[in-house]
Amino acid sequence: MKNKLIKRFLITAACVLSLALSVTTAFALTESSSVVSPFWQSDGSVYTFVAVSHTSLNSMNSEIGIVVSALKNDGSSFGSTQFTVGENTTSRVFVVATNHSSINNLTVTGSKDIFIAGTTNFASGQLNFTPRATNPYQVNFSGPQGLTRSRDITMLSFWGSIVVPGTNTGFAMEFIGDTHDSVFATMSGIANSLGGIAVGVN
C-alpha cells in the first residue's frame, strides 16, 4: 500500500513538472504578437485540428501571414509550416502522424488545408503561432475611408480540437492571445491619430 502511494505521488509530481515546463516554454513568446495553444496531440489514430479565421475587421490587413510551430513536450520540433489567411476565409491546420490513415493530404485536399506531419509515435506538446510579417503592427492606409490596417495575428480567430476519428469524440483546445482575449488600445504619439493599434493580450 505504501509503495502504491509513493508511486502515485511520483507520477503526479512528474505530471505537474511536465505541465509547468510546457507552460514556461509557451510563454517565452512575445505576448503582444503571438498566439499559443498549450496542448496538441497526435498518433496513428488521434490528430489535432485548428481553424484560423480572418474576422475581416476594418483594421485588419486583407491578408495576414502566420508561422505555426508544433513543439513536443521535450521542447523539440514536431514540425512547422507557414501560410496566409485571406479576408473572409478560414484556413484549416491538421497536426497528424506521418501517413495518418484517415487524415492526410490525399484524403483532405482543400486549398486552405495545411498539414504538419511528424513522427508516427504518440506525441504531444504546444502550438505556437507567430506573425510572418517582420513588423505586424506596421500599418498601411489601404482600408476603407482611409482606415489603417495591420498584419496582427492576434486579431484572427483561432479554434480547434483534439479528434479521435474512430469514436467520433475529442475535446476542445484552448488558445491564448487571439481575438477572444486580445485588447485594442490607443498608443501614444502618432498612433493616437491612427485611432489605435492592436497591442495583444491583456
| Among 157, 133, 134, 137, residue whose Cα is nearest residue 148 | 137
Alpha-carbon span 9 to 12, nearest angstrom: 5
Query: Given the C-alpha cell 492606409, which residue does it identify?
Result: 141
Going by C-beta distance under 8 Å and a sequence separation of 6 or more, which residues neighbour residue 179? Answer: 55, 154, 155, 156, 157
Alpha-carbon span 148 to 196, nearest angstrom: 9
Annotate 33-64 with DSSP letters as a single string. Answer: T-EEEEEEEESSS-EEEEEEE----TTB-SEE
Question: Tell me, what DSSP letter sits at residue 104?
Answer: S
Alpha-carbon span 64 to 130, nearest angstrom: 11
pLDDT at 38 over 60: yes
Cell of 59: 483594421
**For 24, phi and psi rounded to 5 degrees?**
-60, -45
Question: Tell me, what DSSP letter sits at residue 18?
Answer: H
**99 falls in which pLDDT band (50, 70, 90)?**
confident
Alpha-carbon span 126 to 162, nearest angstrom: 12
- Among 57-66, 151-160, 163-172, 192-201, the range scoring the smallest mean pLDDT is 192-201
Higher pLDDT, 21 or 159: 159
Number of domains in the chain: 1
Is residue 134 within 8 A of residue 82, CB to CB? The reply is no
**44 falls in which pLDDT band (50, 70, 90)?**
confident
User: Is the full-model pTM beyond 0.75?
Assistant: no
Range of the domain at 136: 2-201
Alpha-carbon span 79 to 123, nearest angstrom: 11
